[in-house]
Each structure stands twice: as C-alpha cells, then as structure tokens.
A and B are shown apart, each in its own frame.
Chain A
Amino acid sequence: GESVGLHLPTLSVQEGDNSIINCAYSNSASDYFIWYKQESGKGPQFIIDIRSNMDKRQGQRVTVLLNKTVKHLSLQIAATQPGDSAVYFCAENSNTGNQFYFGTGTSLTVIP
C-alpha cells in the first residue's frame, strides 16, 4: 500500500516566525498532493494543494513545495500566528486518483 509519513510529529515555533512542516511520500505515480489543517475537535480543513507538474504553489501566508526527485513535500507558513496551532496532514492520491492517503500528522504549537 501507500505510505505517507512526516519527519517530525511535533513542532513548536514562536509567534511571528516561519514554520516548515515536512512530508515524505512513496508513490511516484501520485499526481495530486494536499495539505490539511485539523484543529482540536474539528474535521480536517483544506489548506493548499499542488499538482505533480508543479514545484511550488503559494497561497495566503502558506507555500507548498514539491520535490519529486526525493518524494518530499513541505508546507511553509509565514509569520505563524496562534490560530495556526493545529495538526497538519499531507495527503497524496492513488494511481487511480480517487483514493487518498494521509500522513500521520504534525502537531504545530505556536508560542505567544
């Protein structure tokens, strides 16, 4: 089966600093990658996505980088705020494109 993993299970950053959350994936045939944010007691919420034909995509305060050579995905959050404290998941799609595999998550804590 697929495996999507994260390098660090927890991350603490000072408010205002930039955060980087990493993710490794195993299926070189995956063509779609998504980052989700899950706050305590809630369901995952879409943050940003990237297709395999791209290396970088930017959103509001977030940037996703994709390195297909080493099958690595990262989420960068600029000027991290207390509201960014949550668990972040990366997900990749299957060969068929319809099934998604999630990583185990990284817990981000923002220190005021």
Chain B
Amino acid sequence: EAQVTQNPRYLITVTGKKLTVTCSQNMNHEYMSWYRQDPGLGLRQIYYSMNVEVTDKGDVPEGYKVSRKEKRNFPLILESPSPNQTSLYFCASGRVSYEQYFGPGTRLTVT
C-alpha cells in the first residue's frame, strides 16, 4: 500500500530533550516536506526537500533540523524542544511539489 508513515504518532517530552520524528514513504517520491499545524494558523511549512541531500527552509524552520540521506526517509529533528513547538506535525511526499500526499500526523507535546 502506497503511504507516508510517521513515528511516533504521539509524543510527550520535556523541554531540552532532543527528539526525532521519522517520516518514510514507499512511493519513490523525490519531494518531501514537513509541516506543523496549529489552531487558527493552518499548516505552515518547516522544511522541504527536492531530492536526496537537497533540503530547504520553509516558512518556520527555527528550532528544527532535517536530513535527506535516502529518498524514502526525511526525519525531523528537534535538538532542544521548547513548549512553543507543541503542535501537530505532518510529513508529506510527492512526485513533485504540487502533488503532496500527507502522513497521519504526529502530535507532539513539550512540557
């Protein structure tokens, strides 16, 4: 089944404790992206990647890192999470940027 998977789906952590949210797609897509979704703000793009080893900042990249060592994986790294990073995170992939398939989301709470 063609899909975008994210892990974990739910995570509660404390301020400053490094964490990684994994994203994997099995559709051989070149484009991958991370978004955060907050009430009243919609989805905001954090980082995106056009292909392996190519990543670019989105609208809200501060406090996040990404890597694209393989085509199928695009992990989101929070080196020192803070409470303002509490949010619902979505990974997406697509053959091109305008054909994005979204994962199920990861709900992160930073206390």
Contact = CB atoms under 8 A, between A and B. Distances in A.
Interface stretch (B12-20, B68-76, B79-87, B101-109): B101-109
Interface of A: 1-2, 4, 32, 34, 41-46, 49, 89, 91, 93, 97-105
Given A98-B48, A98-B56, A99-B58, A46 B42 contact: no
B62 interface: no
Contacts of B4: 43
A50 to B, nearest CB: 10
Given A97-B97, A100-B97, A44 B59 contact: no
Contacts, number: 58
A1 B98 contact: no
Interface size class of B (residues with CB under 8 A): 20 to 34
A60 B41 CA distance: 29
A45 B3 CA distance: 12
Interface string B14-58: 000000000000000001010100001111110010100000101
Contact of B42 (A34, A43, A45, A105): A105
